[in-house]
Amino acid sequence: MDNIDIDSLVMLYGKAVYGFCLRLVKDKDNADDLYQETFLKAMEMCNKIDKNNNPKGFLISVAVGLWKNNRRKYARRQRIAPEGELNEDMVNIMCTNMSTPEEIVILRERCAVIRTAADKLNDKLRIPLYMYYTAEMSVEEIALALRIPKGTVKSRLHKARKNLKNVLEGYQYG
């Protein structure tokens, strides 16, 4: 694989990888850095990328590995990573289709509750959840990217959804 192929990977999967990075680090600046590091690492490892065998999963797994390494570095230094506001683009898009200000407020509140609940999940549950919903990866792609069995991915997604359901059942929607 050469630089031209890396460009095609950026065009095909860049948006999904960036969305995943943003959800993972919860900060636009850190997401930008992780996104760039991911594709730089992909360029270094271009001979390991198989265009026919889940390249998006490969890129996501590179992002996860870099993120884990960065977290370990921060933990060793006992620094707390800054948390910024999450990207509200999706909520804003959905709000344009709403008819009343009350519906918009309720939607924003629901999204905030879901995001907060998802962010509180442990990494084993949160990462596959983000891969599935923000990077739109299949169970098979997640399994390959994380190097775990498909059944484990399904189990973790089930546990994450069940956890979110329990949190949301206690929340009153308008």
Confidence at residue 87, expressed as pLDDT on a 0 to 100 scale: 42
Chain centroid to CA 18: how far? 8
Report pLDDT digits (tens) over 109-120. Answer: 877 888 888 889
Residue 76: alpha-carbon gap to chain centroid: 24
Report DSSP state, residue 82: P
pLDDT at 77: 56
Pick the CATH number of 3-169 from 1.10.10.10, 1.25.40.320, 3.30.1330.10, 3.30.465.10: 1.10.10.10
CA angle 5, 20, 88 (to 5 degrees): 125
Q: Which of 72, 83, 78 is closest to 24 using CA atoms?
A: 83
CA-to-CA distance for 27 and 86, rounded, in angstroms? Answer: 6
Domain positions in the chain: 3-169
Burial class (CB in 10 A: 0-12, 13-18, 19+), 148: middle
Query: Tokens 């890396």 label which residue?
Result: 6
pLDDT digit of tens for each residue in the chain (174 aa)?
A: 555 577 888 899 999 999 999 998 888 999 999 999 999 998 888 777 777 778 888 899 999 999 888 877 766 554 333 333 334 544 554 555 556 778 778 778 877 888 888 889 999 999 999 888 888 888 999 999 899 999 999 999 999 999 988 888 876 554
